[in-house]
Structure 1
């Protein structure tokens, strides 16, 4: 049975991603900052007959929490097949380039960028033990520099500085990581789940959570001949579902 760790998975897209992977036969470690909320999510999945799941307390903003989670997971398994870096924040809005407080930028980068690097580095040894390791970084179309420089692409009147920059940095890290692992069985990709109806955006998105999660799952279950170092986005590359940065 393949194993997967999903950060920020006690609700929304992360939770639905867990559900869909459970339905595909994966054993899911459901990462959450609040173990009580994680256990509530576990109870809901159990009620649906999805029992191959455990909550794992992990705060991607805290190195100590990440290290503790790595030790705990290492006591349960010697192999991790999939890591999905899903945890993310938007930060206080609005975020103009000249007026956004540096504390907001720092907080957003801590979760969306530095946290991803810290978690990936902490669990990479367990991933290397898998014959077909997969790393999925949940990003956003807002992190695409190409789209931002396209005058016909208008997403926000005021672009959220901290969030945009953090996801652009995440996209760059995904490319670098995929390159470092290019001669291995790893597949490392970023996924834009789309503008989805979630708490994250005050339920302003038109997309559904199941559809968004399905995009993440698609990258998590890539076969050996699948791409690596790519940006998956059905919304922003509708013809192919995959587009390079």
Structure 2
């Protein structure tokens, strides 16, 4: 099988030349375009999730030899969650190579966290099946590299930390207020304000309410701790 120029360019961005290029094509095929002769990436996503989990768990274990399970678990969760996988996918412009059905393409599928995250996991599985863990592991470590280094700060749950800050000072839990929503239905943007009863507040904007709330909590914590 001969890959298109688009997929060859993606191979270069990924850093792996496939001996079985059909694996790459399958990893990038969303269910909206799948058929009996063209399977989707769902099974590969299942496998890739497990490969990613193993590589990240080992990397964290070796990176901080003094951390206990309670410290490693939130770092691990931050690195393997769908949003992180989607961010890595954007880093190598995976969206440009995704094979989508017309309806999914028209609804902005190339930018959706769920689609990008799933496809990133599927690509990891494709590399693993094509050349084994010895090929998949260095790709994951390279693409996740800076995130692994910063895992401790990424793992901090800002909403929980802000609530603990308020409670320690006898305040009620912070409130999160949606102040603005913009963008089309398939790619909305939410602006959330995190507010404390003492009048302190901070605002952030993101593609989901949860992300916007976390970002607003982070901004408020940084201000309070400055």
Task: Report the TM range for the smaller structure's normalisation.
Answer: under 0.3
Structure-1-length-normalised TM-score: 0.25
Structure with greater helix percent: 2
Larger radius of gyration: 2
Structure with greater strand percent: 1
